[in-house]
Amino acid sequence: MLDKLAFIQIAKHYCKHRTGGDAYAFGDQVPTFGIQWAEDALRAVKAGLPATRLPDEGDTISATECSKMMDFNSYTDIDYNGKAKLCLDLGKPLPESFYGKADLLYDGGTIEHIPNIYQAICNAAMLVKKGGVLIVAVPAHDFGHTYYNLDPLLFRDFYGLNGFDMIECLFWHQKPKLNRVLKTCLYPI
């Protein structure tokens, strides 16, 4: 799921670094907002204004359209469910042809569903190119929905040992459905 807060974090990175390049996502990401909200949020972020309280109006938008708004050259989602552009099992090593391909990799809640989570986080580290950014948004408490409930220390330590620097770690409370605490961590190399 590509939610509003994740979109804002990606937009902040885009506005600060203007990298463009190739965007990837683990899981078939479906935005939870409309095109008008995305356009307004991007304008707000560029102006240094808060974007979280904007009204959500307009037709739905795809993750590909979101990436085009931020001038990424391409958008590729990876999942084993048959809905993503690339059908790959993230619990197995990625083909070497994918190493260092992603300027941006977004995981909006996929790795905690993969039984071989170690391989999944290794794949993320291999996919992001030097100077790229990895954004991870996973539930901290989601019993009965995922295999793993992950602590931010996992991301800090694993990716830190693999040459990443954590630039931000956010916790927020998501009110709909079950009360969940989610975390998003951004890691440029």
pLDDT tens digit sequence for 162-189: 888 877 776 655 544 444 444 444 555 4
pTM greater than 0.95: no
Burial of 91 (0-12, 13-18, 19+ CB in 10 A): middle
What is the C-alpha separation between 156 and 183, in angstroms, rounded? 12
Q: Which segments of the chain does DSSP mark as H helices, in order? A: 4-17, 35-46, 63-69, 117-127, 152-161
Q: How confident is the model at residue 82 (pLDDT cuts 50, 70, 90)?
A: confident
Residue among 27, 28, 29, 21 at smallest CA distance from 7: 29
Q: What is the mean pLDDT of residues 101-128?
A: 92
Asked if 68 contacts 61 with a C-beta cutoff of 8 angstroms, the reply is no
Higher pLDDT, 55 or 120: 120
